[in-house]
Structure 1
Amino acid sequence: MYGLFRIVFINNNDRRNYFLNQSLIISNKWLYFSFKTRPIFPHVNILDSNSEIKFSDTALTYLGNLGHAESNVVLNKILSILENQLNVNNKSVLKRSFICITELVQNIAEYNIIKSTSFPNTSIELKVESEKILISCWNKIEKGDEMSLTTIFNELDSLSRNELEIRYKKGLFSRKSLGLLMIKLLENSIFTWKIETVANENEYNWLKLELIINYGVIAH
Protein backbone atom coordinates (compact mmCIF):
# COMPACT_ATOMS: atom_id res chain seq x y z
CA MET A 1 0.00 0.00 0.00
CA TYR A 2 1.51 3.28 -1.07
CA GLY A 3 0.01 6.64 -0.17
CA LEU A 4 -3.31 7.45 1.46
CA PHE A 5 -5.71 5.78 -0.95
CA ARG A 6 -6.24 2.42 -2.60
CA ILE A 7 -6.40 2.02 -6.37
CA VAL A 8 -8.54 -0.75 -7.87
CA PHE A 9 -7.85 -1.59 -11.52
CA ILE A 10 -10.77 -2.98 -13.54
CA ASN A 11 -11.05 -4.37 -17.05
CA ASN A 12 -14.78 -4.04 -17.73
CA ASN A 13 -15.42 -1.21 -20.20
CA ASP A 14 -18.86 -0.56 -18.74
CA ARG A 15 -17.61 0.12 -15.22
CA ARG A 16 -15.91 3.28 -13.96
CA ASN A 17 -14.77 4.19 -10.47
CA TYR A 18 -14.16 7.76 -9.40
CA PHE A 19 -11.46 8.61 -6.84
CA LEU A 20 -9.81 11.76 -5.50
CA ASN A 21 -12.98 13.88 -5.62
CA GLN A 22 -13.85 12.54 -9.08
CA SER A 23 -10.65 14.00 -10.58
CA LEU A 24 -9.41 10.49 -11.38
CA ILE A 25 -11.33 8.08 -13.60
CA ILE A 26 -10.23 4.47 -13.82
CA SER A 27 -11.50 2.47 -16.78
CA ASN A 28 -10.14 -0.49 -18.74
CA LYS A 29 -6.56 -0.22 -17.46
CA TRP A 30 -6.36 3.51 -18.17
CA LEU A 31 -6.18 6.35 -15.66
CA TYR A 32 -7.34 9.73 -16.90
CA PHE A 33 -6.29 12.98 -15.20
CA SER A 34 -8.14 16.06 -16.42
CA PHE A 35 -6.13 19.22 -17.11
CA LYS A 36 -6.87 22.41 -19.02
CA THR A 37 -3.52 22.57 -20.80
CA ARG A 38 -2.26 20.17 -23.44
CA PRO A 39 1.16 18.72 -22.62
CA ILE A 40 3.84 18.77 -25.32
CA PHE A 41 6.92 16.57 -24.82
CA PRO A 42 10.07 16.59 -26.92
CA HIS A 43 9.73 12.90 -27.81
CA VAL A 44 5.96 12.40 -28.24
CA ASN A 45 3.13 13.97 -30.17
CA ILE A 46 0.64 16.45 -28.69
CA LEU A 47 -1.87 14.69 -26.45
CA ASP A 48 -5.54 15.48 -26.00
CA SER A 49 -6.77 17.50 -23.01
CA ASN A 50 -6.55 14.48 -20.66
CA SER A 51 -3.23 13.30 -19.29
CA GLU A 52 -3.02 9.56 -18.99
CA ILE A 53 -1.28 6.47 -17.67
CA LYS A 54 -1.20 3.23 -19.64
CA PHE A 55 0.31 -0.04 -18.47
CA SER A 56 0.75 -3.70 -19.31
CA ASP A 57 2.34 -6.57 -17.40
CA THR A 58 5.84 -5.36 -18.30
CA ALA A 59 5.59 -1.64 -19.07
CA LEU A 60 4.06 1.65 -18.00
CA THR A 61 3.73 5.06 -19.62
CA TYR A 62 2.53 8.19 -17.86
CA LEU A 63 2.00 11.59 -19.47
CA GLY A 64 0.73 14.52 -17.44
CA ASN A 65 1.28 16.64 -14.37
CA LEU A 66 3.13 14.97 -11.50
CA GLY A 67 2.56 15.90 -7.88
CA HIS A 68 2.16 13.84 -4.72
CA ALA A 69 -1.17 12.23 -5.63
CA GLU A 70 -0.13 11.36 -9.18
CA SER A 71 3.27 10.00 -8.10
CA ASN A 72 1.53 7.72 -5.59
CA VAL A 73 -0.66 6.28 -8.36
CA VAL A 74 2.30 5.79 -10.71
CA LEU A 75 4.51 4.21 -8.03
CA ASN A 76 1.71 1.91 -6.90
CA LYS A 77 1.44 0.45 -10.38
CA ILE A 78 5.21 0.31 -10.87
CA LEU A 79 5.52 -1.73 -7.67
CA SER A 80 2.87 -4.14 -8.93
CA ILE A 81 4.73 -4.59 -12.23
CA LEU A 82 8.05 -5.17 -10.48
CA GLU A 83 6.58 -7.68 -8.04
CA ASN A 84 5.17 -9.69 -10.95
CA GLN A 85 8.21 -9.48 -13.21
CA LEU A 86 11.23 -9.73 -10.92
CA ASN A 87 11.50 -13.49 -10.67
CA VAL A 88 14.11 -13.46 -7.92
CA ASN A 89 14.24 -15.03 -4.48
CA ASN A 90 16.10 -12.14 -2.88
CA LYS A 91 13.45 -9.60 -1.90
CA SER A 92 16.12 -7.01 -1.20
CA VAL A 93 16.67 -6.73 -4.98
CA LEU A 94 13.05 -5.66 -5.43
CA LYS A 95 13.26 -3.35 -2.43
CA ARG A 96 16.45 -1.59 -3.52
CA SER A 97 15.24 -1.20 -7.10
CA PHE A 98 11.86 0.19 -6.07
CA ILE A 99 13.37 2.59 -3.51
CA CYS A 100 15.59 4.14 -6.18
CA ILE A 101 12.70 4.42 -8.65
CA THR A 102 10.61 6.00 -5.90
CA GLU A 103 13.35 8.56 -5.21
CA LEU A 104 13.55 9.37 -8.91
CA VAL A 105 9.80 9.91 -9.32
CA GLN A 106 9.32 11.76 -6.03
CA ASN A 107 12.22 14.12 -6.71
CA ILE A 108 10.45 15.18 -9.90
CA ALA A 109 7.13 15.52 -8.08
CA GLU A 110 8.75 17.63 -5.37
CA TYR A 111 10.28 19.96 -7.97
CA ASN A 112 6.89 20.42 -9.61
CA ILE A 113 5.20 21.13 -6.27
CA ILE A 114 7.83 23.70 -5.29
CA LYS A 115 7.46 25.40 -8.66
CA SER A 116 3.64 25.16 -8.41
CA THR A 117 3.29 24.32 -12.09
CA SER A 118 -0.29 24.15 -13.31
CA PHE A 119 0.28 22.39 -16.66
CA PRO A 120 0.96 18.74 -17.57
CA ASN A 121 4.73 18.58 -17.65
CA THR A 122 6.02 15.07 -16.94
CA SER A 123 6.57 11.90 -18.96
CA ILE A 124 7.50 8.60 -17.29
CA GLU A 125 8.25 5.39 -19.18
CA LEU A 126 9.01 2.06 -17.48
CA LYS A 127 9.97 -1.24 -19.12
CA VAL A 128 10.98 -4.57 -17.60
CA GLU A 129 12.75 -6.81 -20.09
CA SER A 130 15.79 -9.11 -20.36
CA GLU A 131 16.31 -8.95 -16.57
CA LYS A 132 16.59 -5.17 -16.74
CA ILE A 133 14.41 -2.35 -15.45
CA LEU A 134 14.46 0.74 -17.63
CA ILE A 135 12.82 3.95 -16.43
CA SER A 136 13.10 7.31 -18.17
CA CYS A 137 11.54 10.59 -17.05
CA TRP A 138 11.13 13.87 -18.93
CA ASN A 139 10.16 16.93 -16.91
CA LYS A 140 9.77 20.62 -17.65
CA ILE A 141 12.17 22.84 -15.71
CA GLU A 142 12.06 26.61 -15.45
CA LYS A 143 14.50 28.66 -17.49
CA GLY A 144 17.51 29.36 -15.28
CA ASP A 145 17.23 26.14 -13.27
CA GLU A 146 19.31 24.26 -15.82
CA MET A 147 22.48 25.90 -14.47
CA SER A 148 22.01 24.74 -10.86
CA LEU A 149 20.83 21.29 -11.96
CA THR A 150 23.83 20.88 -14.25
CA THR A 151 26.12 21.76 -11.34
CA ILE A 152 24.43 19.17 -9.09
CA PHE A 153 24.57 16.34 -11.63
CA ASN A 154 28.11 17.13 -12.80
CA GLU A 155 29.30 17.05 -9.20
CA LEU A 156 27.64 13.67 -8.62
CA ASP A 157 29.18 12.29 -11.80
CA SER A 158 32.65 13.39 -10.67
CA LEU A 159 32.49 11.51 -7.35
CA SER A 160 34.04 8.08 -6.90
CA ARG A 161 32.01 5.32 -5.27
CA ASN A 162 33.96 5.79 -2.04
CA GLU A 163 33.19 9.52 -2.05
CA LEU A 164 29.51 8.81 -2.73
CA GLU A 165 29.40 6.40 0.22
CA ILE A 166 31.02 8.99 2.52
CA ARG A 167 28.47 11.63 1.49
CA TYR A 168 25.65 9.15 1.97
CA LYS A 169 26.77 8.33 5.52
CA LYS A 170 27.13 12.02 6.36
CA GLY A 171 23.67 12.65 4.95
CA LEU A 172 22.16 9.99 7.20
CA PHE A 173 23.27 11.87 10.29
CA SER A 174 22.39 15.33 8.98
CA ARG A 175 19.00 14.21 7.63
CA LYS A 176 19.74 15.55 4.17
CA SER A 177 18.03 14.24 1.05
CA LEU A 178 19.75 11.04 -0.02
CA GLY A 179 17.73 10.25 -3.15
CA LEU A 180 20.32 10.96 -5.85
CA LEU A 181 23.12 9.43 -3.77
CA MET A 182 21.08 6.22 -3.39
CA ILE A 183 20.48 6.08 -7.12
CA LYS A 184 24.17 6.62 -7.93
CA LEU A 185 25.19 3.94 -5.41
CA LEU A 186 22.83 1.26 -6.70
CA GLU A 187 24.94 -1.65 -7.91
CA ASN A 188 24.74 -2.86 -11.52
CA SER A 189 22.82 0.19 -12.65
CA ILE A 190 23.38 3.11 -15.01
CA PHE A 191 22.00 6.57 -14.24
CA THR A 192 22.13 9.26 -16.91
CA TRP A 193 20.73 12.75 -17.31
CA LYS A 194 20.54 15.50 -19.91
CA ILE A 195 18.99 18.92 -20.29
CA GLU A 196 17.36 19.76 -23.60
CA THR A 197 16.83 23.42 -24.37
CA VAL A 198 13.76 24.58 -26.25
CA ALA A 199 14.32 27.07 -29.05
CA ASN A 200 12.21 30.25 -28.96
CA GLU A 201 10.89 29.33 -25.50
CA ASN A 202 11.40 31.80 -22.66
CA GLU A 203 9.80 29.87 -19.79
CA TYR A 204 11.11 26.31 -19.69
CA ASN A 205 13.59 23.63 -20.77
CA TRP A 206 13.44 19.83 -20.43
CA LEU A 207 15.30 17.57 -18.00
CA LYS A 208 15.63 13.88 -18.82
CA LEU A 209 16.58 11.33 -16.15
CA GLU A 210 17.13 7.67 -17.03
CA LEU A 211 17.89 4.70 -14.78
CA ILE A 212 18.71 1.19 -16.03
CA ILE A 213 18.91 -1.54 -13.39
CA ASN A 214 20.33 -4.96 -14.27
CA TYR A 215 18.50 -6.88 -11.58
CA GLY A 216 19.53 -10.21 -13.09
CA VAL A 217 23.16 -9.53 -12.19
CA ILE A 218 22.17 -8.35 -8.70
CA ALA A 219 20.09 -11.47 -8.12
CA HIS A 220 22.88 -13.82 -9.16
Structure 2
Amino acid sequence: MKVKFIHFFGIACLFLCILTVAIAITINFVPLYAFDLDYFSIPEKLGISKTVLLENYHILLDYLNKPWITELHMPDFPSSEDGLFHFYEVKKLFLFNYAVAAVTTISTIFYVFFMKRQRLVWKLIRPFQWGMLIPFVVLILIALNFDQLFITFHEVFFNNDAWMFNPSTDPVILALPESFFMHCFILAFALIEVTIIAGYFFTKRIAFKKE
Protein backbone atom coordinates (compact mmCIF):
# COMPACT_ATOMS: atom_id res chain seq x y z
CA MET A 1 0.00 0.00 0.00
CA LYS A 2 2.85 2.36 0.86
CA VAL A 3 4.59 1.74 -2.46
CA LYS A 4 1.32 2.24 -4.38
CA PHE A 5 0.74 5.57 -2.66
CA ILE A 6 4.31 6.72 -3.31
CA HIS A 7 3.97 5.65 -6.95
CA PHE A 8 0.67 7.53 -7.40
CA PHE A 9 1.98 10.64 -5.67
CA GLY A 10 5.29 10.40 -7.53
CA ILE A 11 3.65 10.16 -10.96
CA ALA A 12 1.51 13.21 -10.16
CA CYS A 13 4.61 15.15 -9.12
CA LEU A 14 6.53 13.96 -12.18
CA PHE A 15 3.97 15.24 -14.68
CA LEU A 16 3.35 18.44 -12.73
CA CYS A 17 7.09 18.99 -12.76
CA ILE A 18 7.27 18.52 -16.53
CA LEU A 19 4.29 20.85 -17.06
CA THR A 20 5.43 23.66 -14.77
CA VAL A 21 9.06 23.59 -15.90
CA ALA A 22 7.94 23.72 -19.54
CA ILE A 23 5.75 26.71 -18.70
CA ALA A 24 8.61 28.42 -16.84
CA ILE A 25 10.93 27.97 -19.81
CA THR A 26 8.32 29.19 -22.28
CA ILE A 27 7.30 32.36 -20.45
CA ASN A 28 10.94 33.39 -20.12
CA PHE A 29 12.01 32.45 -23.64
CA VAL A 30 12.51 35.98 -24.95
CA PRO A 31 13.89 34.78 -28.35
CA LEU A 32 10.36 33.61 -29.20
CA TYR A 33 8.98 37.12 -28.69
CA ALA A 34 11.90 38.63 -30.60
CA PHE A 35 11.17 36.24 -33.47
CA ASP A 36 7.46 37.10 -33.48
CA LEU A 37 8.21 40.82 -33.55
CA ASP A 38 9.80 40.25 -36.94
CA TYR A 39 7.45 37.48 -38.05
CA PHE A 40 4.32 39.57 -37.49
CA SER A 41 5.99 42.90 -38.41
CA ILE A 42 4.91 44.37 -35.07
CA PRO A 43 7.46 47.23 -34.99
CA GLU A 44 6.29 48.41 -38.40
CA LYS A 45 2.61 48.18 -37.45
CA LEU A 46 3.07 50.11 -34.20
CA GLY A 47 5.73 52.53 -35.39
CA ILE A 48 7.95 51.49 -32.45
CA SER A 49 11.43 50.04 -32.85
CA LYS A 50 12.13 46.43 -32.02
CA THR A 51 14.65 47.54 -29.39
CA VAL A 52 12.05 49.63 -27.56
CA LEU A 53 9.48 46.83 -27.72
CA LEU A 54 11.97 44.37 -26.24
CA GLU A 55 12.86 46.84 -23.48
CA ASN A 56 9.20 47.13 -22.49
CA TYR A 57 8.82 43.35 -22.71
CA HIS A 58 11.74 42.87 -20.32
CA ILE A 59 10.14 45.35 -17.91
CA LEU A 60 6.91 43.35 -18.07
CA LEU A 61 8.75 40.06 -17.47
CA ASP A 62 10.64 41.54 -14.53
CA TYR A 63 7.34 42.58 -12.95
CA LEU A 64 5.73 39.20 -13.57
CA ASN A 65 8.72 37.19 -12.36
CA LYS A 66 10.00 39.09 -9.34
CA PRO A 67 7.90 39.23 -6.15
CA TRP A 68 9.70 42.35 -4.91
CA ILE A 69 8.61 44.40 -7.92
CA THR A 70 5.13 45.55 -6.95
CA GLU A 71 4.38 48.13 -9.64
CA LEU A 72 4.31 47.83 -13.39
CA HIS A 73 5.29 50.81 -15.48
CA MET A 74 6.10 50.29 -19.13
CA PRO A 75 7.42 53.66 -20.38
CA ASP A 76 6.00 53.28 -23.87
CA PHE A 77 2.68 51.66 -23.02
CA PRO A 78 0.15 53.25 -20.67
CA SER A 79 -2.08 50.83 -18.77
CA SER A 80 -5.62 51.04 -17.47
CA GLU A 81 -6.65 49.93 -14.00
CA ASP A 82 -8.15 46.73 -15.43
CA GLY A 83 -5.01 46.11 -17.45
CA LEU A 84 -2.77 46.46 -14.40
CA PHE A 85 -5.08 44.22 -12.40
CA HIS A 86 -4.87 41.51 -15.07
CA PHE A 87 -1.08 41.66 -15.05
CA TYR A 88 -1.20 41.39 -11.26
CA GLU A 89 -3.26 38.21 -11.58
CA VAL A 90 -0.84 36.88 -14.18
CA LYS A 91 2.03 37.64 -11.80
CA LYS A 92 0.36 35.51 -9.12
CA LEU A 93 0.01 32.64 -11.61
CA PHE A 94 3.69 32.97 -12.59
CA LEU A 95 4.83 32.81 -8.97
CA PHE A 96 2.47 29.94 -8.20
CA ASN A 97 3.85 28.04 -11.19
CA TYR A 98 7.42 28.55 -9.92
CA ALA A 99 6.45 27.33 -6.46
CA VAL A 100 4.81 24.19 -7.86
CA ALA A 101 7.79 23.61 -10.16
CA ALA A 102 10.22 23.81 -7.23
CA VAL A 103 8.22 21.48 -4.97
CA THR A 104 7.46 18.90 -7.67
CA THR A 105 11.02 18.90 -9.00
CA ILE A 106 12.38 18.02 -5.56
CA SER A 107 9.62 15.45 -5.02
CA THR A 108 10.24 13.90 -8.45
CA ILE A 109 13.95 13.50 -7.74
CA PHE A 110 13.22 11.63 -4.51
CA TYR A 111 10.53 9.58 -6.26
CA VAL A 112 12.80 8.49 -9.12
CA PHE A 113 15.58 7.51 -6.70
CA PHE A 114 13.05 5.55 -4.62
CA MET A 115 11.72 3.67 -7.67
CA LYS A 116 15.25 2.93 -8.82
CA ARG A 117 16.25 1.65 -5.38
CA GLN A 118 13.13 -0.56 -5.25
CA ARG A 119 13.79 -1.82 -8.79
CA LEU A 120 10.40 -0.50 -9.90
CA VAL A 121 11.50 1.86 -12.66
CA TRP A 122 9.53 -0.22 -15.15
CA LYS A 123 6.34 1.13 -13.57
CA LEU A 124 7.09 4.53 -15.14
CA ILE A 125 6.95 3.19 -18.69
CA ARG A 126 3.15 2.99 -18.97
CA PRO A 127 2.50 6.49 -17.53
CA PHE A 128 4.98 7.93 -20.01
CA GLN A 129 3.24 6.09 -22.85
CA TRP A 130 -0.12 7.57 -21.89
CA GLY A 131 1.45 10.93 -21.18
CA MET A 132 2.64 11.22 -24.78
CA LEU A 133 -0.96 11.52 -25.95
CA ILE A 134 -1.93 14.61 -23.94
CA PRO A 135 0.44 17.19 -25.51
CA PHE A 136 -0.33 15.72 -28.92
CA VAL A 137 -4.08 16.21 -28.38
CA VAL A 138 -3.55 19.77 -27.14
CA LEU A 139 -1.41 20.60 -30.18
CA ILE A 140 -4.20 19.31 -32.42
CA LEU A 141 -6.71 21.52 -30.58
CA ILE A 142 -4.40 24.49 -31.05
CA ALA A 143 -4.22 23.79 -34.76
CA LEU A 144 -7.98 23.35 -35.10
CA ASN A 145 -9.31 26.23 -33.01
CA PHE A 146 -6.83 28.22 -30.94
CA ASP A 147 -9.29 31.11 -30.48
CA GLN A 148 -11.68 28.96 -28.44
CA LEU A 149 -8.84 27.34 -26.52
CA PHE A 150 -7.46 30.80 -25.68
CA ILE A 151 -10.86 31.97 -24.42
CA THR A 152 -11.42 28.80 -22.40
CA PHE A 153 -7.99 29.14 -20.82
CA HIS A 154 -8.80 32.64 -19.58
CA GLU A 155 -12.26 31.61 -18.38
CA VAL A 156 -10.69 28.83 -16.30
CA PHE A 157 -7.88 30.86 -14.74
CA PHE A 158 -9.54 34.28 -14.42
CA ASN A 159 -12.95 35.04 -12.91
CA ASN A 160 -13.29 38.41 -14.65
CA ASP A 161 -12.97 39.99 -18.09
CA ALA A 162 -9.98 42.21 -17.29
CA TRP A 163 -7.96 40.10 -19.74
CA MET A 164 -10.03 41.48 -22.63
CA PHE A 165 -7.76 44.45 -23.24
CA ASN A 166 -8.99 47.53 -25.06
CA PRO A 167 -6.20 48.73 -27.39
CA SER A 168 -7.18 52.35 -26.78
CA THR A 169 -6.57 52.10 -23.03
CA ASP A 170 -4.05 49.23 -23.00
CA PRO A 171 -2.07 49.50 -26.24
CA VAL A 172 0.39 46.86 -25.01
CA ILE A 173 -2.04 44.26 -26.32
CA LEU A 174 -1.10 45.37 -29.83
CA ALA A 175 2.48 44.38 -29.04
CA LEU A 176 1.29 41.03 -27.65
CA PRO A 177 -1.00 39.64 -30.35
CA GLU A 178 -2.96 36.44 -29.83
CA SER A 179 -0.75 34.71 -32.39
CA PHE A 180 2.23 35.21 -30.09
CA PHE A 181 0.39 33.38 -27.31
CA MET A 182 -0.46 30.62 -29.77
CA HIS A 183 3.26 30.20 -30.40
CA CYS A 184 3.81 30.12 -26.61
CA PHE A 185 1.27 27.31 -26.25
CA ILE A 186 2.89 25.39 -29.09
CA LEU A 187 6.36 25.79 -27.59
CA ALA A 188 5.20 24.74 -24.10
CA PHE A 189 3.42 21.60 -25.24
CA ALA A 190 6.18 20.74 -27.70
CA LEU A 191 8.63 20.89 -24.77
CA ILE A 192 6.30 18.70 -22.72
CA GLU A 193 5.99 16.17 -25.55
CA VAL A 194 9.75 16.02 -26.12
CA THR A 195 10.40 15.64 -22.38
CA ILE A 196 7.86 12.82 -22.02
CA ILE A 197 9.26 10.98 -25.04
CA ALA A 198 12.80 11.36 -23.69
CA GLY A 199 11.58 10.17 -20.28
CA TYR A 200 9.94 7.14 -21.85
CA PHE A 201 13.08 6.00 -23.68
CA PHE A 202 15.34 6.79 -20.73
CA THR A 203 13.06 4.89 -18.33
CA LYS A 204 12.81 1.95 -20.70
CA ARG A 205 16.58 1.76 -21.04
CA ILE A 206 17.14 1.96 -17.28
CA ALA A 207 14.39 -0.57 -16.54
CA PHE A 208 15.73 -3.17 -18.98
CA LYS A 209 19.28 -2.56 -17.85
CA LYS A 210 18.60 -2.84 -14.13
CA GLU A 211 15.73 -5.26 -14.07
Shared fold (TM-score, shorter chain, > 0.5): no
Greater fraction of residues in strand? 1
Bigger Rg, structure 1 or 2: 2
Give me the TM-score of the superposition, normalised by structure 1: 0.30
* More contact order relative to length (CA 8 Å, sep ≥ 6): 2
Greater fraction of residues in helix? 2
Give me the TM-score of the superposition, normalised by structure 2: 0.31
